[in-house]
Amino acid sequence: MNLSLSRLLAPDPVSLEHLAALAQGMRAAVDRVAQLMAAPTAPAAGADQELTVIDTEATARHMALLTSLRSAFITPLPRQDLYLLADGLNDAVEKICNAGILILFTEQYRLPEAPLDILEILGRQADLFRDATGQFRELDELEETWIQLQRLSKRSERLMTQWVAGMSDDLLQRNYNRQRETAHALNAALASVRGVIAHLGSILVRES
């Protein structure tokens, strides 16, 4: 059977499938942690294991992407770009899961509205990252996605500042310390997301 030259030289889509799966893993982590934050009572046993599974699956996808990049003849973007995007998404999943496990271990149920709003933003960003994996050939669409990601990132930063600033008002020292640690954990996730957004921007600048 003869294969056309265009078929032979087509970019391998496997790396994009892994990237999309990592974005979906980020969405799954956000949804599970949001459930914990909004729970009126302690969740059912096994919630920490669920978060561990989400984190483990993301790491497996990250490793699978690296393997696919090493074996692919042509990739949709330079290999280093795809690896760095995957690394940032994997790190975001890990940080979000860690925040959830911290909530479980410190029994911080019914947290304020601000961290729930931050998680909602992270979930929207996960969806946008998934969309971006299909836009590397349509730079105008990718730029619009990048703009939305930037705006959401700025909003989450403001919410984080307001949350931390208001912690000392009515909290006992123990509760203050616990909320502060949860804020640090979520802020680490925001930092990972900012890194992915910045790399998307660098791809736009270079490919335009």
pLDDT tens for 60-95 read 999 999 999 988 778 888 999 999 999 999 999 999
Is 60 domain-assigned? Answer: yes
d(CA 198, CA 171): 36
Q: Which of 193, 203, 116 is nearest to 151 (CA)?
A: 193
Confidence of residue 11 (pLDDT cuts 50, 70, 90): low
Is 5 domain-assigned? Answer: no
Is 74 domain-assigned? Answer: yes
- The count of structural domains within the chain is 1
Which CATH number covers residue 110?
1.20.58.220
pLDDT reading at 9 higher than 90: no
Confidence of residue 8 (pLDDT cuts 50, 70, 90): very low
Using CA atoms, how far residue 160 sits from 32, 119, 166, 168, in Å, is: 20, 11, 10, 14
Structural domain including 72 reads: 12-207
- Residue 42 Rama label (left phi>0; alpha psi -120 to 50; beta): beta
Predicted confidence (pLDDT) per residue in 23-71, tens digit: 999 999 999 999 888 776 666 668 889 999 999 999 999 999 999 998 8
Using CA atoms, how far residue 34 sits from 54, 164, 203, in Å, is: 14, 18, 31
Is 3 domain-assigned? Answer: no
Helices (H) and strands (E) in the chain, counts: 7, 0
Is 159 domain-assigned? Answer: yes
pLDDT reading at 103 higher than 80: yes
Is 24 domain-assigned? Answer: yes
- Per-residue confidence (pLDDT) for residue 154, from 0 to 100: 97
Is 1 domain-assigned? Answer: no
Is 4 domain-assigned? Answer: no
